[in-house]
Structure 1
Amino acid sequence: MKIIGQMSGTSLDGVDSVLVDIDDHQCEVLARHHLPFDDKLKQRLLSLCESGDDEIHRAATVSNQLSNLYAESVSALIDASAYSSKDIDAIGCHGQTVRHIPPHYSIQLINGALLAELTEIDVVCDFRSRDIAAGGQGAPLVPAFHHALFSKADENVAVVNIGGMANISLLHSDHKILGYDTGPGNVLMDAWCKLHKQQPFDELGQWAASGEVIPDLLNILLDDPYFALPAPKSTGREHFNLAWLKPLLKEHYAKQDIQATLSALTARTVADEIKRHWQQAEVIVCGGGAKNRWLIRQLAQYLEGFDIKTSEQRGVNSQDIEAMAFAWLAKRCIDRKPGNVCDVTGAAGKRILGAIYPA
C-alpha cells in the first residue's frame, strides 16, 4: 500500500508529511514534505492548550484551518513524487494535540471528513481515543512501529524521540516492548529561547552550550513528581511549560545557564530512564532534538558506555519517523490489526486504533 503519514507535534513547528510504500515487512519513504506553521497559527494553538473564552468555536475553526494545511501538504507531497492522488490508498494523520489529560481524554485537532473531502483520499485519524477508552494513556503510540523499524534479535535497543516531549521505546532482545514519556524534550528549551532570544529554538544547542548547568536548579526540576511516577505514563505542555518553570528560578541565574540546565534536564531524565532498565544498549535518537548537538553531547555524558547514534546512522531520516509511524498505524487500522502495546499505554488489551473517513 502507498500511504501518506502526517504528524504535527507539540513543538508546533509545522506538518511533516511522508509518502511511504508499506507492507508487513518494509516501510520505504518515497517522498517527504515539511509545511511550517506561521506565528499566528502557533499562538492560536498555544491558546487552546489552556482554558479560555469560546474554546469550542476556536477549536473548531483551528481544526478546519489545520485540515486545510494538511491537505496543502498532501498536495505538495504528491507533486514532489512520481504518483497521483489515485495511487494513494490512505492518509494517516495524527492531528495537533492541544490537550493530553490521560486517563480522561486526549484531544488532537483535525477534521477528518474535511481532509478526505479536500484530498479525495481515505483518511485515518483519531488514533488515541480507543486506547484511552480501554483504560490506557493513549500514548506513546510509536513504540510498536519503532520495534518494526529498529529492533534486533540479539541486542537491546532504546529509541529516544525528542520532540516537544521526550519519549523512549525500549526494545528488548526477547521482543518485549516498553515505552513512555520521560518528560520535557524541546518544549522548555524552545519556550525559554523564544522568550529571551526571539528565536523558535536554540540552533544546534549553541546558546545552551554557552552556559553552565546550575546544579541546584537541576535538582529542583528533577524533584517534580512526574519523574518518580511508574510507567505507563505520558505528559504534555499542560504540565511542563513556562508557568511551571518560572516560580523555580532565582533572579541571579544567568539566562544562558538556565538554558543549559533545561537541556541537561531533558538529557538527564532520558538517560535515567534508560539506565533504570539496562546498563548497556544501542540508543537511537530521533525527532527534532537529534539535531541539537549540545543536547546529544549531554546525553552521551549521562549514558557513558552506551552506543549512541542518530536514526540517520541507521538509515532513517529522524524527521520522518513519527509521520512514518502514523502511516504504519493507518495501515494497521485498515487491515483491522491492533496498533497499541498494552505494556506501554496501560490499556486493558490490544485495540484497533483510528477512525476511517472514506473519500
Structure 2
Amino acid sequence: MPLYVGLMSGTSLDGIDAALVDIAEDPSIPARLVDALCLPLSDTLRDGLLTLTQASRIDFTTLAAAETALCEHQADAVSQLLTRHALSPKAITAIGSHGQTIEHAPDGTPPYTCQMDNPSLLAELTGCCVVADFRRRDMAAGGQAAPLAPIFHQAVFGHANRTRLVLNLGGIANLTRLAPDATLPVIGFDTGPANLLIDAWHARHRQGPIDIDGEWAASGALDDALLSRLLEDPYFQQPPPKSTGRERFHLEWLDQRLDGKERSADVQATLAELTAVSVARAARPFVDAAGTDLIVCGGGARNRHLMQRLAAHLPEVAFLACDDFGWSADWLEAGAFAWLAWRRLSAMPGNLPEVTGASGPRVLGGVYAP
C-alpha cells in the first residue's frame, strides 16, 4: 500500500514527531502505523521557537533562520525514518507537514493562524512530495482551523455501539466525541491547557522541562483557591467550536493569578488538577450511560499522576489504550497529518465543519512537488 509520512511539532515544543503510515486507496481499509520516531529539538532551536511564540514584535531575519532550522530538523527526521526501512524518497507518496504553530487567533480581527513551515524547502531537502498549510483553508471558510484530527479519529476509532471520546493531551488538550449514532455530528474542540503549563512551571523551578510521571505534582497539595481562580478564565465556559494555544495560556497568565504565597510543588499539583478538571467538565456532557470509552493520546497519556486524576473525575468512563487499535499514544497526531496528506491528494475534504465551524467541507493543504 502507499506510504506517507506525517510530521508534527506541537505546542509542547519537545521535538519533531515523524510517523510512517501505510494508507490504502480504499477508504474502508484503515490506515496502519508502520513506524515512528521523535527527533528532539536542540535547546537553541526550542528556545528560539518559544521566543517567537511569545514575541510582541518579530524580526523577520530571526523568523527565517528559525524556520529554516526547523525545516532542516524535519528533513532529518524523515531521512532517519526512511533509512531505518531502507526506503528511497520515491517510496513515499507524500509528507504531511503540520508545521510549528507560532500564533493562533481564530477570533481575531481578522482571524489568523500562523504555522512556521517551509514546505518548498522540505520538498527540496527530502526529495518527497509535501502537503502543508492545512489550517488556513478551513479558516478562510469561517472555521477555527482547529482541531483537525477529529476526522482522523472518526476513521480510526469510530464504533457502531459505543460512544467514544478521544483525548489528546499535548501542550493543549483537545477532545473528540464519536457517537455510535451516525446521524449525530462528530464534536471536537480544545478544552484548555494540558502539558503546556505543567511543563513550563516545572522548567522554571526544577531541572528539565518535564515532570516525569507527574511525580512532582503528586508531591504537592491541591490549592483549591488557586484552582478556582484559574477556572474563572472565560475560555473554560465558552461553548464549542473553540480552539486555543500558547498565546492565551502561558506562564504570565498563571503569574497573574498567583498571590505569591504558594509553594511551587502545590502550584504544580494544582496545574495538573486544572487539566484534569477542565477535561472532565468538557467530557461529561458526552458521557453515554449505555457505555463510553475514553482513548487518551499525546505526551500526557504517559503522566501517571495526571491519568489518575482524570480517572478520579471520570469514574463512569472506560479508559482504552491507543495501542489496542494499532496506534501509539505518542504518534497519533503525526499519523493524522499523514492521513490528511492522503485526503488532500485524493481531493477529499480534510475538515469537519461541525467541529471547526467552517461553512462547509473543504479540501485542505497545498501540494509541493519534489
- Scaled to the shorter chain, the TM-score interval is over 0.9
* Partner secondary structure for residue 89 of structure 1: strand
* Partner secondary structure for residue 189 of structure 2: strand
1:183-222 to 2 correspondence within 5 Å?
183-222=192-231
1:242 aligns with 2:251: yes
What amino acid does structure 2 have at the position aligned with 1:177? V
| Cα distance in 1 for residues equivalent to 2:169 and 2:59 | 29
Superposed CA deviations along residues 211-261 of structure 1, whole A, max 9, x for unmatched, are 111111111111100001110000001000000001211232111111010
Could you tell which deviates more after superposition, 155-164 or 35-44?
A: 35-44
* Partner secondary structure for residue 53 of structure 2: coil
What 5-or-longer segments of structure 2 have no aligned partner? none
Q: Is the CA contact 2:287–2:317 (under 8 Å) kept in the aligned structure 1?
A: no
Q: Is the CA contact 1:290–1:310 (under 8 Å) kept in the aligned structure 2?
A: no
The residue aligned with 2:161 is 154
Q: Is the CA contact 2:163–2:288 (under 8 Å) kept in the aligned structure 1?
A: no
Specify which of 182, 186, 189 is matched with residue 177 of structure 1: 186
Percent identical residues: 46
The residue aligned with 1:66 is 70
Q: Is the CA contact 1:155–1:172 (under 8 Å) kept in the aligned structure 2?
A: yes
Superposed CA deviations along residues 56-75 of structure 1, whole A, max 9, x for unmatched, are 22222211111111111110
1:1-359 to 2 correspondence within 5 Å?
1-23=2-24, 24=27, 25-103=29-107, 104-175=111-182, 176-280=185-289, 281-359=292-370
| Cα distance in 2 for residues equivalent to 1:246 and 1:38 | 27
Deviation at 1:314, TM superposition (A): 3.6
Superposed CA deviations along residues 53-97 of structure 1, whole A, max 9, x for unmatched, are 543222222111111111111100001114221211110010001
What amino acid does structure 2 have at the position aligned with 1:265? L
What amino acid does structure 1 have at the position aligned with 2:236? F
| Cα distance in 2 for residues equivalent to 1:30 and 1:273 | 33
Deviation at 1:210, TM superposition (A): 0.5
Deviation at 1:203, TM superposition (A): 0.3
| Cα distance in 2 for residues equivalent to 1:329 and 1:216 | 43
* Partner secondary structure for residue 35 of structure 1: strand
What amino acid does structure 2 have at the position aligned with 1:338? P
Q: Is the CA contact 1:48–1:55 (under 8 Å) kept in the aligned structure 2?
A: no
Q: Is the CA contact 1:136–1:346 (under 8 Å) kept in the aligned structure 2?
A: yes
* Partner secondary structure for residue 96 of structure 2: strand
| Cα distance in 2 for residues equivalent to 1:315 and 1:332 | 20
Q: Is the CA contact 2:32–2:326 (under 8 Å) kept in the aligned structure 1?
A: no
Deviation at 1:315, TM superposition (A): 3.3
* Partner secondary structure for residue 48 of structure 1: helix
Q: Is the CA contact 1:31–1:80 (under 8 Å) kept in the aligned structure 2?
A: no
Superposed CA deviations along residues 152-197 of structure 1, whole A, max 9, x for unmatched, are 0110000000000000010011133100000001000000000000
* Partner secondary structure for residue 130 of structure 1: helix
| Cα distance in 1 for residues equivalent to 2:155 and 2:57 | 43
Q: Is the CA contact 2:33–2:327 (under 8 Å) kept in the aligned structure 1?
A: no
| Cα distance in 1 for residues equivalent to 2:321 and 2:256 | 35
Deviation at 1:318, TM superposition (A): 0.5
Superposed CA deviations along residues 257-302 of structure 1, whole A, max 9, x for unmatched, are 1101000000111111110222541001100000000000000000
* Partner secondary structure for residue 54 of structure 2: coil
Q: Is the CA contact 1:282–1:307 (under 8 Å) kept in the aligned structure 2?
A: yes
What amino acid does structure 2 have at the position aligned with 1:183? G
| Cα distance in 2 for residues equivalent to 1:57 and 1:132 | 27
| Cα distance in 2 for residues equivalent to 1:99 and 1:311 | 29
| Cα distance in 1 for residues equivalent to 2:4 and 2:294 | 28
Q: Is the CA contact 1:18–1:323 (under 8 Å) kept in the aligned structure 2?
A: yes
Could you tell which deviates more after superposition, 74-83 or 322-331?
A: 74-83
What 5-or-longer segments of structure 1 have no aligned partner? none
